[in-house]
Amino acid sequence: MSKNDEFFHKNEYLAYTKERGFIMKNIIKKSIATIVVIALTLTLAMPVTAEAATKKAPKLNKSKVTLTITKKKTKPTVQLKVKNTAGKKVKWTSSNKKVVTVSKKGKVVAKKKGSAVVKVKVGNRTLKCKVTVKDKRKAVSNKPNSNTDENNSNTDNSNTTCQHTWVTKSVDEEVTYTATQCACGQIFDTGDEWQAHRIEMGLKHELGHGSCAGIDQTKTVTKTKYICSKCGAEKE
């Protein structure tokens, strides 16, 4: 083999080696880029981070409580507390302030016989406690002290009773009932209304409406009561 042929083959081999090394380098770069993209995709696809998973949801110390009024000047109270509120705004409300009131710190004070729902909003979440107030104080009688017969001044009135004269009166009351809350957050008074909503959203191909849960709600109901115009006695 001549020196020219040897030089030609040597240069050809070097060119082949250099081209092969360039191809391998590109393959390695593309592989690394692919691995990085897959890793980022898996990280973003995770439903919650480890930090979010360890966070505890707010929790109310009571879900139901009964307060009993036994003295005229003393109003029973109860302290409601909510846990895991770090960094979140807390707001307390009462569904019926005539029955119970609640302070900014969750102290509930009974006002009169009845029921109400105390709510505490922590961030975007609302917790509830049903409060029932009982009144065991002795009722003060408003019955007339006498029913004197004008024609008989010696009539014994110690055992007289009121001859009731009933008049009607409309009274608004707060009542608690169980409504239906869709997984999307919308609340319906009945399960049939939620079913209609679920079907409507399904026809629109919208997800997140396939399940529901019961939730306590309050509403005002007008009731008719009968009150005696003489002694003030009541009946429904």
pLDDT at 112 over 60: yes
- Which of 53-67, 111-125, 207-221 shows the highest mean pLDDT? 111-125
What would the DSSP string read from start to end of 78-117?
EE--EE--TT--EEEEES-TTTEEE-TT-EEEE-SSEEEE
- Domain ranges for the chain: 7-52, 56-138, 165-236
Q: Is 225 exposed, middle or buried (0-12, 13-18, 19+ CB in 10 A)?
A: middle
Mean pLDDT of 169-174: 78
| Cβ-contact 107, 141 below 8 angstroms | no
> What mean pLDDT do residues 63-85 have?
90
Please determine, for residue 160, whether its predicted confidence score (pLDDT) is greater than 60: no
Residue 4 pLDDT greater than 70, yes or no: no
Q: What is the mean pLDDT of residues 18-44?
A: 74
Q: Which comes out higher in pLDDT, residue 217 or 58?
A: 58
Q: Is the pLDDT of residue 33 over 90?
A: no
Residue 182 has pLDDT above 90, yes or no: no
Q: Which of 72-86, 150-164, 178-192 has the lowest mean pLDDT?
A: 150-164
pLDDT band at 157 (very low <50, low <70, confident <90, very high): very low
CATH code matching the domain that covers 56-138, chosen among 2.40.50.100, 2.60.40.1080, 3.40.50.970, 1.10.150.120? 2.60.40.1080
Give the single-character DSSP code of 226. E
